[in-house]
Amino acid sequence: MGTGRARPRGRLAMIGLRLVMVAGLALVAISGSVGLTPGRARTEPASSTSPAPVAFGAPVAPHTGCAAGSSGPSELDLRRAYGGQVRVVRVHLPAGYRPDRPVPLLLNLHGSGSTAATQETQTELDATSDADDFIVAYPQGIRTSGAGYGWNIPGTPTFQPAGPDDVAFLTGLLGVLRHQFCVDPARVYASGFSGGARMVSQLACTPGVRLAGIAVAGGLRAPSPCHPAHPLAVLAFHGTADLSNPFNGHGQAYWTYSVPEAALRWARYDGCPTQAHTGHPYPQVTVTDYRGCPDGAEVTLYALTGKGHRWPAAAGAFQPNEIAWRFLTEHVVPGSTPAI
């Protein structure tokens, strides 16, 4: 999905025991290995000049990844990062990235049975990143699911208490990315598809996780209990013909209530007036949103008539990636001052 416009390509980097800039993408392997491709890694000794290991989830001061005059990300030892497990994250730096200028950050989570690389390809958010100047990071789950990986989502029937703590992983990852790259802490967002959307819904409900907003496709949930750090901007796309996560609910054990109900519950979590506004700005698209929420939050649902279980495709004037990013950037963490 793209807008059809030619755009400059961003940069890639590889982070593990060492970080090396290459042409457009960062592969972050968290543990004692360097990520090459999802599901494949090679062991490489740490440089004798490596800095002290950085603990995953350690407090990170604002803008610690910003350094005037720096040529870009530098070596970072992440061996203490996350329970000794290798966690892979693909990081796309926008074409205009400068290590001395804070930019927004977007986490984008893959669905169940998928990978970070597939999510990057199918969502085409790298092009949006280049056009709109933000970093996009694609974390990868560690639980085997089909031909790929899935997330260990609390409160769902498949949650494994002894399994990976993906809420802690993603929370800690935000700190690592702010340490490694020049991120504006007022503009940190999350998105995801299907199981990744459900994981993002859970992350947004976690106390202390200060996201400015989320934008998900094919999987919005409203976990209970839910204690977001502040009223949160929420946007969801969902096909009315989705057979995996049915629009009207009554699906698998983790999918009981409808998507409109999930949006209404988020409006209640945010303290919004629960009188919805509806519109039809594009063919076969119905928009339901809740406005007038505290701290400028809002909840918006795009119902895509006749569409199935996939990241929404661009069609004419309907450009989902641009719509989502425009929605997100209208919101910042309450009480913060954007650095850009």
pLDDT tens digits, residue range 221-264? Answer: 999 999 999 999 999 999 999 999 999 999 999 999 999 999 99
Q: What gap in Å lies between CA 242 and CA 7, rounded to an integer? A: 31
Q: 52: pLDDT confidence band, cut at 50, 70 and 90?
A: very low
Q: What gap in Å lies between CA 209 and CA 19, rounded to an integer? A: 26
336: enclosing H helix or E strand: none
Looking at per-residue pLDDT, the higher value among 141 and 80 belongs to 141
Question: Contact at 8 Å (CB) between 197 and 108?
Answer: no
Q: In Å, how far are 53, 233, 259, 265 from 288, measured between CA atoms?
A: 47, 14, 11, 13
Q: 3-state class of 185 per DSSP?
A: strand
Question: Contact at 8 Å (CB) between 23 and 11?
Answer: yes
Instruction: State the chain's mean pLDDT as an integer.
Output: 82
DSSP 315: B
- Phi-psi map region of 161: left, alpha, beta (phi>0 left; psi -120 to 50 alpha): alpha
Closest C-alpha to 167, from 193, 190, 144: 190
Q: What is the DSSP string of 11-63?
A: EEEEESSSEEEEEEEEEEEESSEEEEETTEEEE-PPPTTPPPP--TT----TT
Q: 80: pLDDT confidence band, cut at 50, 70 and 90?
A: very low
DSSP-based helix, strand, coil % in the chain, nearest 5: 20, 30, 55
Question: Contact at 8 Å (CB) between 91 and 177?
Answer: yes
- Phi and psi at 249, nearest 5°, equal 80, -160
Looking at per-residue pLDDT, the higher value among 135 and 64 belongs to 135
6, with CB counted inside 10 A (0-12, 13-18, 19+), is exposed
Q: What gap in Å lies between CA 100 and CA 106, rounded to an integer? A: 19
Q: Where are the alpha helices (DSSP H) in 205-290?
A: 259-270
Q: What is the DSSP string of 98-129?
A: -TTS-EEEEEEE--TTB-HHHHHHHH-HHHHH
Tokens found for residue 48: 């004798």
277 CA to centre of own chain: 27
pLDDT for position 86: 77
Residue 64 has pLDDT above 70, yes or no: no
Say what percent of the chain tops pLDDT 70: 76
**Distance linking the first and last C-alpha atoms of the chain:** 27
Task: List, for residues 284-304, the tens digit of each pLDDT value.
Answer: 999 999 999 999 999 999 999
- Give the mean pLDDT of 93-111: 94
Torsion sign (Cα): 232, 233, 237, 238: positive
Q: What gap in Å lies between CA 151 and CA 128, rounded to an integer? A: 25
The domains located in the chain, with CATH, are 100-329 (3.40.50.1820)
Residue 41 has pLDDT above 80, yes or no: no
- Phi and psi at 75, nearest 5°, equal -65, 140
- Give the mean pLDDT of 266-277: 96
Torsion sign (Cα): 214, 271, 151, 103: positive
- Give the mean pLDDT of 9-29: 41
